[in-house]
Amino acid sequence: MRISALAIALSFTTCAGAATMADAHTLDGKNRHVVIQNITNTTVESIYITRTDPSETWGQDTLRSNEVMLPSEQMNYNVDDGTDTCVFDFKVVFRGGAIRYGRVDVCVARVIDITATNVVMAS
């Protein structure tokens, strides 16, 4: 399955990263592992992931301290926070701006390509 969504009108591109949010196995048995690829020419400085919920805050940067995601890099994520939630929001920060991607179903998407103009999710 391939889904394409128009990105916010910034001329940056996005990608997500390597650290896992939680390593616990889920009770519902759904796979929340995704590969996020930076297929842009811009370095990603921070990546935030949170449940799609108005009361949630972005929390901590999921890239490790002093870590960035270079153009053409990809990182693996286990986006399991222990709540059996599948839908998350992503915020990718670049020098000079950020892009937010809402309502990404990580139980369906296996690969998330982030480009300058859109986010492409494939299962």
Boundaries of every domain in the chain: 2-122
Q: What is the CATH number of domain 2-122?
A: 2.60.40
Question: Tell me: the pLDDT tens digits for 65-98?
Answer: 889 999 999 999 999 988 899 999 998 887 777 8
pLDDT of residue 101: 83
Sign of the torsion formed by the C-alpha atoms of 45, 57, 109 and 101: negative
pLDDT of residue 119: 52
The span from the CA of 29 to the CA of 31, in Å, is: 7
The span from the CA of 102 to the CA of 29, in Å, is: 23
Ranges 3-7, 84-88, 97-101, most confident? 84-88
Predicted model pTM: 0.71
- Mean pLDDT, to the nearest integer, of 7-32? 47
The span from the CA of 94 to the CA of 106, in Å, is: 23
Q: By C-alpha distance, which of 82, 79, 65 is closest to 27?
A: 82
